Amino acid sequence: MNNYRINSLAKYCFWLFALGLLIFLFWKNYSPLGSQHIVFNLMPNKFISDINPTARVTPPSCDNETCSQVMFGDPLYFDLLLARKFDLAKIKIYYSSDIDMDLRLGMQTKEGWNYMIKTPDKKDKNVNISIAEFSFPLSQALINKRHVSFIISAPETKAENKEITIYKMELDLKR
């Protein structure tokens, strides 16, 4: 009888652990709360692709816990992997430049290669780092296999041979 109780207890513990693991994985990958906050510090991330093409941006360089990439060509691209259907994407880009440059962000729309390019909704400047905030309605995005493509544009980098240093991006996705 004692062996039977130990086996039953072990079986219940196993099923409880499996259920807890399943709930954890579901919560982590599908955002059941209806919102998701993603911080992309230029290191590999399962929700945001690397900034490309590599011919227009340096590889990420990191010191301590801060990474940066230098944008010296226009435009750059990155993809966002959606864990579920969202209605709105709010994106903050932390960057710095020698002169006050016009940084734009665009989202690929359902019309194919067209991009909804915007100037920042809000722009803040801390000591050396500028923060540009953008918002996009994801109902107008071209979603291909749960991926949305974005473009980062700063035409002055091409015309004036200037550079922008990108430090990180924060994305808030809401339903």
Distance in angstroms (rounded) separating the CA atoms of residues 46 and 35: 17
Q: Which pLDDT tens digit goes with each residue over 101-142?
A: 788 999 999 887 788 888 888 887 777 888 999 999 999 999
Cis peptide leading into 75, omega within 30 of 0? Answer: yes
Whole-model pTM: value is 0.78
- Tokens representing residue 26 in the block: 């579901």
Report the share of the chain in percent with pLDDT over 70: 94
Tell me the residue type at 8.
Answer: S
Distance in angstroms (rounded) separating the CA atoms of residues 142 and 66: 32
With residues binned 3-state (H G I as helix, E B as strand, rest as coil), the percentages for the chain, rounded to 5, are 20, 45, 35
Distance in angstroms (rounded) separating the CA atoms of residues 126 and 70: 19
- Tokens representing residue 108 in the block: 């690929």
Q: Kindly state the DSSP code that residue 140 receives in the 8-state scheme.
A: G
Higher pLDDT: 27 or 71? It is: 71
Pick the CATH number of 34-174 from 3.40.630.10, 3.40.50.10440, 2.60.120.260, 3.40.50.620: 2.60.120.260
Q: Are 134 and 66 spatial neighbours (Cβ–Cβ below 8 Å)?
A: no
Q: Which pLDDT tens digit goes with each residue over 10-53?
A: 888 889 998 888 887 776 656 566 788 899 999 888 899 999 99
